[in-house]
Amino acid sequence: MTKHHSEVAQLEALAAELIGEARGIDARRTARTLVGGPAQRATLIALAEGAELAEHDAPVAATLQVLTGQVRLHTHDRDWVLDRGHLAAIPPERHGLIALTDAAVLLTVALR
């Protein structure tokens, strides 16, 4: 059997580790890129309760999967409360994210 991935991430354990780190720093959030390449990037983002990613421009295409906790994804005129197990397409407009509880999310972005 051919090995196609150089590393396999154990998301649950890594999410717990990063949430612990986020709780201990002023920014109240931390992230680790798990998959990088010319076409896509997957980043695990941990946010302590109340932490926010301020509004920013949307990538070409992206999804947000909630691994643990609860977050609110919002645009200028809409918002979605996402719980563990939810997967959402990132809206193609400026958006932000707020952690309603300690949370870990997997952001997958198409780079081209």
| Strand partners of residue 46 | 30, 104
The reply to whether 12 falls in a domain is no
**Structure confidence at residue 2 as a pLDDT band (50, 70, 90):** very low
Residue 15 phi, psi (nearest 5):
-60, -45
The reply to whether 70 falls in a domain is yes
The reply to whether 4 falls in a domain is no
The reply to whether 63 falls in a domain is yes
CA 34 – CA 52 distance, rounded (Å) = 21
The reply to whether 92 falls in a domain is yes
Domain region containing 96: 28-110
Kindly report, residue by residue over 18-58, the tens digit of the pLDDT.
Answer: 999 999 999 999 999 999 989 999 999 999 999 999 988 88
Domain count across the chain? 1
pLDDT of residue 1 exceeding 60: no
Residue in this structure with the two tokens 């890594």, named with its chain if needed: 14
Question: What CATH number is associated with residue 72?
Answer: 2.60.120.10
pLDDT of residue 4 exceeding 50: no
The reply to whether 7 falls in a domain is no
pLDDT of residue 83 exceeding 70: yes
Query: Structure pTM?
Result: 0.90
Kindly report, residue by residue over 57-75, the tens digit of the pLDDT.
Answer: 887 899 999 999 999 999 9
